A and B are shown apart, each in its own frame.
Chain A
Amino acid sequence: MKIIDFIGENAVLDDLQSTDKESVIREMVDVLKNQNKINENEVDDIMKALIKREKVGSTGIGKGVAVPHTKHQSITKITGAFARSLKGVEFDALDGEPVYLFFLLLSPNESTDVHLAALEKISSVIRNPDFRNFVRNASNKSEMVDILKEVDEAKT
């Protein structure tokens, strides 16, 4: 599985405008909505599920990265978005650091293994300090995509 396969080049944001948890998630969900990757009528419900998951415990998993995620009945195939905030967002991350990079992950209800595999893939990418550095310093969206593709290819 490659990250770019389920995220797609068009679901990458290089300059998130939002400054708080909920609006960051909303901004990313909107991208998927605009690309018709999720049903417009389900947007509110998906948002609710994502926020609920954050309440259980922040998905800010450290090192300036967060992976907001949820399963949802309206999702038929795993999809997601990748976004960067230049200023960083307070996300109640477990290490207290602001979050700069976000991977949004939406999976179908019955997709435990795919979901786990996607998380595995994302975490092995973000574990790499070079990746985090390069992506944070990328000058635009297409550079971010390129870096993502590059690490995707690399054997982890």
Chain B
Amino acid sequence: MLTERRVKIINANGLHARPATRFAEMANKFNSEIFVRTENKEEVNGKSIIDLLTLGARRGTEILITADGEDKEEALDVLEGLVNDRFNEDNMETRKGIAVAPGVVIKEAFVLESEGYRIPRHLIKEDEIDKEISRLEEATSSAWKEIEKLEESVSKNLGSQIASIFATHKLMLQDRQLMREFREKVEQNKFSAEYAVSLVLRVYIKKFENVNDPYLSARVGDIYDIEKRLLRNLLGEKREELKNLTEEVVVVAHDLSPSQIASLDTTKVKGFVTDLGSRTSHSAIVARALGIPAVVGIGTATVDVFGGDRVIIDGNRGLVIVRPDEKTIKEYQSIEKNFHVFEEKLSSELKYLPAVTLDGREVSILGNIEFPRDISASLRQGASGIGLYRTEFLYLGSKDTPTEEEHFNAYTQSIQELGDRPLIIRTVDLGGDKFFPANNNREINPFLGCRSIRYCLENPKVFKSQLRAILRASATGNVKILFPLISSLQELQKAKDIVKEVMDDMNQNGIAFDEKIKIGIMIEVPSAAMVADDLAKEVDFFSIGTNDLIQYTLAVDRSNEKVAHLYSPAHPAILRLLKMVIKAAEENNIKIGICGEMGGEIEYTILLLGLGLREFSVAPAIIIPEIKKIIRSVTYERAKEVAETACSYNDPAQTTEYLRNIAREIIPELIY
């Protein structure tokens, strides 16, 4: 029996090429035969773009969609929805995600997932066969997992019947015959895994197309999907599309690895949006370092956005506006402009002025960096040195542990840029959410596992080679060592013993280094904060890492949207810990600074100043003049009062509101 739906074309441009393509693509996902007609045109095949175009259906035209087949009801529901949704063409959509890097940008989208691939015919050598086979297997199994996830979410959002498309995909990937053919092409023809996949599937596509069976020919779209997915898994980061951009875009992707982000061409990529991610993930940190607005955790960005759609990224408020209307564009154009004008004015006004309060308390503002090349941006904005060099980024892009020389070269390069300005090198902070070392076993709870300094103490060879590199560099520059994630006095002593060992060894070999090199620790574990007075006696400085300190103290994973609202730097527990740590540092006469994100959030500047901090290490560089502006606008006395008031509140929301109001008076342009 036939089923029929009557629906009006309401998108501005009618059933032109793109809507027809979307309609046909969607229609092809169903087994039913689908036909479309209008009042005065004969019925055409709803799965053919060409046929649909012959209808010439303008806006306002009513079309009749009919379907015949077992899944006709679902097909009609989906197609009717597509027409009513204006073929997803000109409807503005605002999505809320997590703001991870400030700024506003309006550009066209480059959707990473949906662009085409070019597969070169590539032959492999005899001894590479095993490697290619295992790549093939890996790609297949991760493709399978991806599809399963997709199936789950589609099933939740669109119903299980539509999700059954993906069940078919899974079956295809489990097909032994298909896998055998892939393997044969690799083993016998010595084709690369990519080429084998592409070749085998293209043959299937041809076969299916030539069969006069609607069910089989409908599978062609599925095979294309499978092919794309396998290739994406195989090509991984080797894909080159992002490097071949010719115009300015914002990148929309399911997820971006830190190395993908770090290799973005920032002259072309002006912002990014991802489905996954959190504020603390390294990709977010890199985005801030690059100074491009970014919003993550949108959930379905890659589904909602089509390549070429106009997108507004509001990195200040965590909003992504897809296909904005004229009014919204105008609004944002003025925000975008004002933001840049203000930032530029601020930085040119303040660059050469010291960070000193109205009553003469001097503060130093330093930069946080991931790569030596980030130093110049910090210095340009007036940083007086580097307060945190995250050396784990040396692991980016290389599967092996960086050598001592690689460490040394990076440090020397940094020193060349910095002259005698300070460079605080943090020993590798691996694990948690970043760059699992290749030999690390999967941990059930990586944030409480063998990460950071614990990993280094477990792997003294890795640790020592970095320490040697730092010490060698200390002979020529103002270098300090910073240990991350110290949680007890004994751990610190162990780390220091290893430094001592390396020093002794270098002395014996006559290698120069700074005998008086300053050693400090991150205070980012609550236990370290609690025993800060003991730790202070063993080190030259503290650097407060607020991201982990907050996460561990409040037991909140900020990337988990169910609990993210519980994460607040203004929680009284955090403020009390800060006070405690600062007091311990003052009593023991050691330096103390902050290098966590809280230090770069201008609403907290006065509070931190008032609590007694004199060193702020921040990223991105653009924040430096903002912090300076605030410091130059208050007296230390006033800051102390503010801190006291803030500490008297017991509701984080109230504290934040109070602090924001004060900061807004100084920089209204930046606090919404």
Q: Which residues of A contact B (CB under 8 A)?
A: 48, 52-53, 55-57, 59, 61-63, 65, 67, 69, 92, 94-96, 112-113, 115-117, 119-120, 122-124, 126-127, 156
Query: What B residues does A115 contact at CB under 8 A?
Result: 13, 16
Q: List 26 contacting pairs A-B, 8 Å CB cutoff, sorted by A.
A: A53-B308, A56-B18, A59-B17, A61-B17, A61-B50, A63-B50, A94-B21, A94-B25, A94-B49, A95-B220, A112-B12, A112-B14, A116-B13, A116-B57, A117-B56, A119-B16, A119-B53, A120-B54, A120-B55, A122-B53, A123-B49, A123-B52, A123-B54, A124-B54, A127-B51, A127-B54
Number of residue pairs A-B, CB distance < 8 angstroms: 79
Tally chain B residues at the interface, Cβ within 8 Å.
35
In the complex, how many angstroms separate the beta carbon of B366 from the nearest chain A beta carbon? 42
Nearest to B227 among chain A residues (CB) is A96
Given A57-B18, A116-B14, A116-B16, verify A123-B307 contact (CB < 8 Å): no
- Scoring B52, B54, B202 by chain A CB atoms within 10 A of each residue's CB, the highest score goes to B54
Query: What A residues does B116 contact at CB under 8 A?
Result: 92
Query: What B residues does A126 contact at CB under 8 A?
Result: 50
Contact B56 A116 (CB under 8 A): yes
What CA separation (Å) do A156 and B54 show in the bound complex?
9
What CA separation (Å) do A101 and B516 show in the bound complex?
76
A-contacting residues, B40-89, CB 8 Å: 48-59
Query: What A residues does B20 contact at CB under 8 A?
Result: 61
What CA separation (Å) do A122 and B202 show in the bound complex?
29
Query: What B residues does A113 contact at CB under 8 A?
Result: 14, 58
What CA separation (Å) do A59 and B50 show in the bound complex?
11
Nearest to B221 among chain A residues (CB) is A94
Q: Which residues of B contact A (CB under 8 A)?
A: 12-18, 20-21, 24-25, 48-59, 108, 115-116, 202, 205, 209, 220, 224, 247, 306-308
What CA separation (Å) do A53 and B16 show in the bound complex?
13
What CA separation (Å) do A57 and B18 show in the bound complex?
8
Contact A67 B308 (CB under 8 A): no
In the complex, how many angstroms separate the beta carbon of A55 from the nearest chain B beta carbon? 6
What CA separation (Å) do A53 and B21 show in the bound complex?
13
Query: What A residues does B54 contact at CB under 8 A?
Result: 120, 123-124, 127, 156
The listed residue (A56, A67, A96) touching B307 by CB distance below 8 A is: A56
Contact B15 A62 (CB under 8 A): no
Nearest to B12 among chain A residues (CB) is A112
Contact A57 B21 (CB under 8 A): yes
What CA separation (Å) do A55 and B18 show in the bound complex?
12
Contact A112 B17 (CB under 8 A): no
What CA separation (Å) do A26 and B48 show in the bound complex?
27
Query: What B residues does A124 contact at CB under 8 A?
Result: 54
The listed residue (A48, A55, A65, A116) touching B58 by CB distance below 8 A is: A116
Contact A62 B18 (CB under 8 A): no
In the complex, how many angstroms separate the beta carbon of A90 from the nearest chain B beta carbon? 9
Contact B49 A61 (CB under 8 A): yes
In the complex, how many angstroms separate the beta carbon of B286 from the nearest chain A beta carbon? 26
Query: What A residues does B25 contact at CB under 8 A?
Result: 94
Query: What B residues does A119 contact at CB under 8 A?
Result: 16-17, 53, 56
The listed residue (A52, A62, A116, A120) touching B48 by CB distance below 8 A is: A62
Contact A116 B15 (CB under 8 A): yes
What CA separation (Å) do A37 and B374 show in the bound complex?
50
What CA separation (Å) do A156 and B56 show in the bound complex?
12
